[in-house]
Structure 1
Amino acid sequence: MTDHSTATFHDSDLDTEALDWFMRFCDAPHTAHTDAAFQRWLAGHPDRQVAYARWQADWRQMDAFPLAGVEQLRLQVAQDKAVAARSRVRRGGRSALVLRTALAVLVLALGGGGGYLAWNHWRQQPVFAQSYETQRGQQLSVQLPDGSKLRLDTATRVEVSLYRQRREVRLPQGQALFDVQADSARPFHVLAGNTRVTVVGTRFAVRHTDEGPVRVSVEEGMVSVAAQDRTDWAVFLAAGQQLAGGVVAAVASSGIAPWRDGRITLDNMPLSQALAEFERYGPTRMVVHDPAVAALRISGSFDPLRPGDFRQALVNMLPVRLQESGTQTEIVAAS
């Protein structure tokens, strides 16, 4: 007859037995009878204490799991144990839980299988998610939980998601100024159209509207600009530089975001685009139908909430006149 108190056990045998005892104490409170039996089991082999302590340590790791996931996984263990109880495997007079139960608890403690998927899914969820939007003519300042600050221009929408490993802002429409709190462990990404802007901590602006390509302008620090659908192209911009349409240029003298000071800066811009820019802030009731007039270029700095000043500047700066037609004003050639 084999003396099981001194026999050499495989690691799997020890783990299975330790798991069996561990689950007994999880399912029911200690009693004098179970405590005495447990102590006899511990004394039967020097490695049993180590195996049992390992399950205790692994179980404590579940403190980092989301509660909903823990409860779901506990239920799975209970189901597996019930199945195992109906089909015990006799081995040397001892009952051993089937391997699936051991693996299920490993899932809970070590992060494998479905438990790992649940835990990993939880880890991938944002710790903060919020959308912000401005209406026509409005601006909005936002401070994020990580200390970063956003300034939204008129007719702008951003979708903020702060994750444990990264920070992400989507800019479907409009333009925004970003003052990013430095955090080397969590890079800050701005996604606008097909453009991805990546920084650690700096101040920059991104414009994504129907008028022209995405524009990235840097005021402080350095940013990386890449295409989301390509891995072989990236541009690094330093303070005082901007990128639009693949072309790097110096930031205009008006700065990276003149709109934060209530100004629209037109830099040799076609008249049709200038009108569209004013329309982002409010109705101008001005239209242009003549393609030649629409192509005329204009420069200057204007208050978007005072379109009357812009109307006056048009006739002073361009060979045009204003022709009233009902509630609209058409810009036509002067001759």
Structure 2
Amino acid sequence: MHRETSQEIDAVAADWAARIDRGALSPADEGELDAWIAGDARRLGAFMRMRAVALQSNSARALGPDFDPEAFAQAEPPAATPITRRRLFWLGGSAVAASALGAIGLGLMMRDTVYETKLGEMRVVTLEDGSAVTLNTASRIRVAFADARRTVTLEEGEALFDVAKDPARPFIVEAGGTSVRAVGTSFSVKRLSDAPVEVLVREGIVEVAQPATPRPVRMTANMRIVTSHAVAQPVAIAPTEVDREIAWRSGRIAFEGEPLAQAAAAFGRYSDTRIIIEDPGIGREEITGLFASNDPVTFARAAAASLELKAVIGPGEVRLSR
């Protein structure tokens, strides 16, 4: 028997929430909704989350700019009253308004936390659960922790995640439609403009959900996957290659036979100084070595000496030619 995924449950819950927003349900529809909720323990929570989102969105527009959610949240709460599931769903009038206000206050108290780095900067962030995130150059993450899950959105750049184990709260990294799920492990995620999302597992096990695949792909240590609109599969790589890929956390870039043009472009992520290759044939030459990520001039000089090229240094650039 097919077990619904959380995404499938959320989709159905959102549909029910939208139907309720359009007007009262008929008795038959109410019975259908009750039967759907009773079919899986996860459905009630999903439905209530979707209703809270709808209430927050609708009521925020009605409350206007003078509403103070912090003052509301600090007010003395009313005494608890037993409530049935049906009454919870079909509350009307002032009770619905109070629920909406509560949802807004909670949403504002649980603001996301943003961490970012500038060009050429690296940063290590310790999250509230003990997990550590190492941000590469020009990167930005948004952290939102809840009781049931820990979510980090990689909005741009690259980050290495050393996740604290917590089986009750999976650690989810979202990046451009790709979702990486872990409990306790070490992995990196790269999301650059106009490029597929790349996931590299250093330790442990993760599950990667891709836009083009209905089910997550499981990855173990020393594996890489490059996601796109096509179905991608993880590829095993050597531990030494994993070390090269994450050399950036110590301020280094490692190359092992990469084309010179690709290596030069990599330095563009760390510095405003550009390496310009005038001849496409030169760009296809291969380069190997370990270099300081914030020193493109020294790299260009080393590449010129190795490949018998000329390096002309000018303001904000280095030109390589024969």
TM interval, shorter chain, is: 0.5 to 0.7
Q: Secondary structure at the match of 2:263?
A: helix
Instruction: Give me the whole-angstrom Cα distance separating, in 1, the residues matched to 2:193 and 2:208.
Output: 20
What does 1:264-275 align with in structure 2 at a 5 Å threshold? 264-275=253-264
Q: Give secondary structure in 2 for the equivalent of 1:146.
A: coil
Identify the residue that residue 261 of structure 1 maps to in structure 2: 250
The residue correspondences of 1:168-183 to structure 2 (distance < 5 A) are 168-183=151-166
Counterpart code for 1:294: G
Does 2:237 match 1:250?
Answer: yes
Identify the range of structure 1 (211-220 vs 149-158) with the bigger mean alpha-carbon deviation. Answer: 211-220
Q: Write out aligned runs for 1:86-125 (5 A).
A: 106=83, 111-112=88-89, 113=91, 114=96
Q: Deviations over 1:43-85 (max 9, x none)?
A: xxxxxxxxxxxxxxxxxxxxxxx994797996xxxxxxxxxxx
Determine helix, strand or coil for the equivalent of 2:305: helix
Counterpart of 2:198? 215
2:222 to 207, 231, 240: 240
Change (3 A) 1:116 1:322: same
1:295 aligned residue:
284
For residues 1-335 of structure 1, the aligned pairs below 5 Å read: 68=72, 106=83, 111-112=88-89, 113=91, 114=96, 127=110, 129-210=112-193, 212-227=195-210, 229-230=211-212, 232-245=214-227, 246=232, 247-253=234-240, 255=243, 257-318=246-307, 320-324=309-313, 328-332=317-321, 334=322
Contact 1:157/1:172 (CA < 8 Å) preserved in 2?
A: yes
1:126·1:163 contact (CA, 8 Å) conserved in 2?
no
- 142 and 327 in structure 1: CA distance in 2 versus 1, 3 angstrom threshold: closer
Quickly say closer, same or farther: Cα 1:149–1:212, change in 2 above 3 A. same
For structure 1, the residue ranges without an aligned partner over 5 or more in a row are 1-65, 75-103
CA contact under 8 A between 1:265 and 1:300: conserved in structure 2?
yes
Shift of 1:289: 3.9
The CA distance in 2 between the partners of 1:156 and 1:257, in whole Å, is 15
Q: Distance in 1 between matches of 2:213 and 2:76?
A: 39
For residues 314 and 126 of structure 2, what CA distance do their matches in structure 1 show? 46
Q: What is the one-letter code of the residue matched to 1:183?
A: D
The CA deviation at 1:109 is 12
Asked if structure 2 preserves the Cα contact closer than 8 Å seen for 1:216 and 1:244, the reply is: yes
What's the secondary structure of 2:311's corresponding residue? strand
Per-residue deviation at 1:294?
2.8
Residue 145 of structure 2 aligns with an amino acid whose one-letter code is: L
Cα RMSD after superposing both structures: 3.5
Deviation at 1:261, TM superposition (A): 1.8
The match for 1:17 is none
Residue in 2 that maps onto 1:32: none
Aligned partners of 2:72 and 2:105 also within 8 Å? no
Among the aligned pairs, what percent are the same residue?
A: 32
Structure of greater Rg: 1
Q: Residue type matched to 1:226 in 2?
A: A
Q: Distance in 1 between matches of 2:219 and 2:296?
A: 34
| Secondary structure at 1:283 match in 2 | coil
User: TM-score, normalized by length of structure 1?
Assistant: 0.61
CA offset at residue 168 of structure 1?
0.9
Moved more, 237-246 or 148-157: 237-246
Q: 1:266 to 1:199 in 2, by over 3 A?
A: same
- How far off its partner does 1:202 sit? 0.9
For residues 239 and 147 of structure 2, the distance between their equivalents in structure 1, rounded to whole angstroms, comes to: 36
Distance 1:325 1:155, change over 3 A: closer
Matches of 2:223 and 2:114, distance apart in 1: 28
Q: Give per-residue Cα distances to partners, 1:281-319, cap 9 Å, x unaligned.
A: 223342124333333332322111333431222123335
Change (3 A) 1:196 1:183: same
Q: 1:317 to 1:126 in 2, by over 3 A?
A: farther
Are the aligned partners of 1:207 and 1:216 in contact in 2 as well (CA < 8 Å)? Answer: yes
Amino acid at match of 1:143: T
- Alpha-carbon deviations, 1:65-115, whole Å to 9, x = none? x994797996xxxxxxxxxxxxxxxxxxxxxxxxxxxxx984899744336
**How far did residue 189 of structure 1 move?**
0.8
* C-alpha distance after superposition, 1:136-189 (max 9, x if no partner): 121111111111111111111111111122111111211111111111221111
Report the count of equivalent residues.
Answer: 238
Shift of the 128–163 alpha-carbon distance from structure 1 to 2, 3 Å rule, reads farther
